[in-house]
Amino acid sequence: MVLGDFAMLAADTARTKAYLHAMIQENILPGMCVVYSDSISKMQDDARKYGNARNTNQYFDISTPVLSFLEEAGIPYEFVKNKDINSEQMECAIQNLQQKYMIYSGYGGYILKPHLFRLGKRYIHVHAGILPKYRGSTTAYYSFLQEKIFGATAIFLSEGIDEGEIIAYDTFEVPKEPVDIDYIYEPYMRARVLIKVMKKYFSDGEFISYRQSTEGAETYFIIHPVLKHIAMLGIKKEQDNMKSDGGGRGDCNIYTAGGDH
């Protein structure tokens, strides 16, 4: 199933791989993909060496090259040799896309500049935290330390950081088994929210989004290594407790815009 109104802006990252894995798994694909990187030739070499084999696991196979996912799914794609989302090359590529909705899976540290919002596109970004309560960076760890949960929120990007209209969000509990939070579990959570967004659009033919409240909004900065270590110890303790209880809780609770917030 192809959503013709959707294109993907795909950096060479774990998040992009998680998104593509989930799309293939759920058979719900964008109509086009713009792959952007400073190392396009390396991406091509990696895909040639890897072939079509792909390991399956509970989350996604981070070792699979981005281009291998795209080839497997048959998603049309083009290259931009520049990792800066705000470059003239990317502006031109985005402007030439027929699709209205851009699934943004970019490199860390880049913020969309105003000129991209004047192209008539809407940029869908999945933030690794429940908004507006957890804006900013490394919010997965902050939300665990405060509430012992994780979360992800899909928004339409705006010029304010993590301030765009909310499309959907999910809350996730601690994974039952040890897993890399930064490179596996966080991208996986974002991917699950993205799939909910795409399925909702397919069923409804439109988006229902709502503005964020300013009440309780908090912006966080990159977590201090000591706090991160405390969070990791807490996650391990939760996992040990689940094992001693002989099972554990479900992985997530699902929420979407238009229902109870």
Dig out the tokens for 108 from the structure.
Answer: 């860390």
Per-residue pLDDT of 97-108, as tens digits, reads 999 999 999 999
* Better pLDDT: 215 or 251: 215
**C-alpha to C-alpha distance for 224 and 138, rounded to whole angstroms:** 10
Q: Which tens digits make up the pLDDT trace of 233-257?
A: 999 999 999 988 765 444 444 333 4
Contact 172, 251 (CB under 8 A): yes
Q: Is the peptide bond before 114 cis (omega within 30 degrees of 0)?
A: no
CA dihedral 102, 78, 194, 176 (to 10 degrees): -150
Cα–Cα nearest to 159, from 102, 118, 203: 118
Reply yes or no on whether the pLDDT at 152 is more than 90.
yes
* Distance, CA of 248 to CA of 71 (rounded, Å): 37
Query: Which of residues 184 and 52 earns the better pLDDT score?
Result: 184
**CB 40 within 8 Å of CB 79:** yes
What is the model's pLDDT at position 210? 95
